[in-house]
Amino acid sequence: MLKAWDIAEAISKIAEGKDSEKIEKIAKRVMKYYPHKAPFILKALERIKDFDETRVLVISARELSSSEKEQIQNSISAKYNDHLEFEFEITETIGAGIIIKKGEFVIDSSLNNLINQLSDKIKNCNISIGV
């Protein structure tokens, strides 16, 4: 039985280097024969995109300045010596700081993550109060 992940992976490989007209043709054909799998295919394609080793996603709580973006790009590019594609995204719910994702590698220096780590440490403390 053909799974949505298999279809998404095939589309991803076929679409590499193709123009948008050919990609649209492939997508229409998949939708015609597998309409019930469309939501799963979209999720699988997003996962494939997330694990692209040449793509770096930088998430911040606010718009970064050009110099901040350049500093991040230079620092990461120097470490990996690869041609990397950077995508910058604003997600206010992280509070402050940034999250950097490259493939499966994640650096989370967001305020939200730091608060969660601190909360976990407090929960794991054994404090006995003598009465």
Closest C-alpha among 37, 39, 38 to residue 1 = 37
Instruction: Using alpha carbons, select from 30, 28, 32 the residue that is nearest to residue 7.
Output: 30
Reported as a single tens digit per residue, the pLDDT across 50-83 is 566 788 899 999 999 999 999 999 998 888 777 8
For residue range 85-120, what is the model confidence (pLDDT) as tens digits? Answer: 899 999 999 999 999 988 778 899 999 999 999 988
Place of tokens 């080793």: 53
Map out the domains of the chain as residue ranges.
Answer: 4-50, 55-122
**pTM here?**
0.57
Q: Which CATH architecture has domain 55-122?
A: 3-Layer(aba) Sandwich (3.40)
Q: How far apart (Å, rounded) are the C-alpha atoms in residues 122 and 111?
A: 16
Pair type for strands 85-90 and 55-60: parallel
The pLDDT confidence band at residue 29, using thresholds 50, 70 and 90, is confident
- CA dihedral 26→88→84→44, nearest 10 degrees, is -30
The pLDDT score that the predictor gives to residue 59 is: 95
